[in-house]
Amino acid sequence: MSYVDEVYRRTVEDNPGEFEFHQAVREILESLKLVIDSDEKKYRDVSLLERLIEPERIISFRVPWVDDRGHLQINKGYRIQYNSAIGPYKGGLRFHSSVNLNLLKFVGFEQTFKNALTGLPIGGAKGGSNFDRKGKSDREIMAFCQSFMSELFKYIGDDLDILGGDIGAGAREIGYLFGQYKRLAGLHCGAMTGKGPSFGGSPIRTQATGYGLVYMLENLLRRHGKGLDGKVVVISGAGSVAVHTIEKIQQYGAKVVTLSDSDGYIYDKDGIRLDVVKQIKEVRRGRIKEYLDEVPSAIYEEKKSIWDIPCHIALPCATQNEINLNAAKTLVRNGCIALAEGANMPCDQEATEFFQQSGVLFMPGKAANGGGVAVSTLEMRQNSMRTSWTFDEVDGQLHKIMSEIYDKTSDTAERYGVKGNFVAGANIAAFEKIAEAMMAQGFV
């Protein structure tokens, strides 16, 4: 059995029942066969894959907090410090009822590769809690965030591990977490990103993942002789990534016709109205169904799949495994020509392979949604330099970083004889950088 296959088999055995983690590892290992199979000994002798897959450290803790009825609630808290070969641990926090170690290991592993691909000096991490902010008061959210940080502050720092946002952890949560960090650590430093603009946050961090996704997509289409103008786009999710993707893609002349949350989706054939969405999500913190109150001509569906709606471009921006083989077949049948992953691993492996076989331009999350963590790193840079850059300066850097990620991904695929396979290109380009750093640092 090859080294890669052997390591995958052992990963499954040693991490039973962790299906998303197995999926993320399998996808990356499949790509790495192109690098490793021809030079197995070099990697096997230093157990490189085993060390890459096993997180450096997992911190697991209890998060007690008091709800508005005076009852004590207990949540689980985690931080996975995955890999520090190329820089301090960096990655977001996910607050969602589904969070467990399996999910965080999958996103932490992916984050390690994504971060390497940005070309910036950041290792990989992820953390979070099974806390769900839906239906909670502001006071309850603050109480939870303060308790979460009361434990985690011991393990983070601006040269050690830098937290950021993810599902369920936006500007409000980061603000409360940062306040408690500052109070306990006695430091006003860049140990967290996604901060508010008045206390060290970077311009464009809020928009960065969505804007970066569109910059990546624009690169992808342009280099294949296509453009965004006039294209019909289906977007899932209605969170930070989805909303800012709509904002930017509309500026390029594309028409977005959908949005969704975990209850259902909105279809507006005339094009989603961003002002209405922002009012619902950012001001009222409401549900996407409320779009109908403002735009009665739109359609709301709870039971159907959003991917049944015909489009030229699909941008999954909600969560993992939202597109399976059936959804992929429907998208292709309906004329979808390109897909870029705003979410982390939103397409399962069968769907991904089907898109690639069908000639759909397919850009994986590691390359497509790297703009968020890239601007987080620009935030760290501004904090260290005690400075702040303008919106245009950061936007310019984001543009450049996304274009460089595209080049790296595309060139690496071509170098390994799989031109146009951006999954392989992204995984291998990231691996080359991490592996070189790990080899140079010895057996640690």
- In the set 127, 164, 190, 201, which binds ligand 2IT (CB under 6 A)? 164
Q: Smallest distance from the beta carbon of 37 to ligand 2IT, in angstroms?
A: 29
Query: Between β-strands 72-83 and 57-66, what pairing exists: parallel, antiparallel or unpaired?
Result: antiparallel
* Beta-strand pair 361-363/258-260: unpaired
Mutual angle of helices 349-357 and 19-36, in 10-degree steps = 50
Which partner from the list ligand NDP, ligand 2IT, none does 237 bind, CB cut-off 5 to 8 Å by kind?
A: ligand NDP
| Contacts (Cβ under 8 Å, ≥6 apart) of 395 | 203, 204, 211
Residue among 180 and 369 whose Cβ is closer to ligand NDP: 369
The least distance separating ligand 2IT from the CB of residue 94, rounded to whole angstroms, comes to 8
Question: In this complex, which beta carbon is closest to ligand 2IT, that of residue 48 or of residue 213?
Answer: 213
**For residues 376 and 409, which CB has a smaller minimum distance to ligand 2IT in the complex?**
376
- Annotated catalytic residue, options 105, 126, 281, 408: 126
281 is catalytic: no
98 within 8 A of 78, measured Cβ to Cβ: no
Which one of residues 90, 96, 248, 281 is an interface residue with ligand 2IT (CB under 6 A)? 90
| # residues near ligand 2IT by CB under 6 A | 12
- 376 forms part of the interface with ligand 2IT (CB under 6 A): yes
Nearer to ligand NDP, 369 or 382 (CB): 369
Question: Which is closer to ligand NDP, CB of 24 or CB of 317?
Answer: 317
Kindly list the residues in this chain that would bind ligand NDP in the complex (CB under 6 A): 96, 98, 165-168, 170, 209, 237-242, 261-263, 317-319, 342-344, 369, 372
* Exposed / middle / buried, residue 416 (Cβ in 10 Å: 0-12, 13-18, 19+): middle
CA dist list (Å): 297 to 70, 193, 268:
44, 40, 7
244 binds ligand 2IT (CB under 6 A): no
CB of 270 to ligand 2IT, least distance (A): 32
Q: Exposed/middle/buried for 293, CB within 10 Å: 0-12, 13-18, 19+?
A: exposed
Rounded to the nearest whole angstrom, what is the least distance from the CB of residue 156 to ligand 2IT in the complex? 12
Residue 91's DSSP bridge partners are 163
List residues binding ligand 2IT (CB under 6 A). Answer: 90-92, 111, 114, 164, 166, 193, 344, 372-373, 376
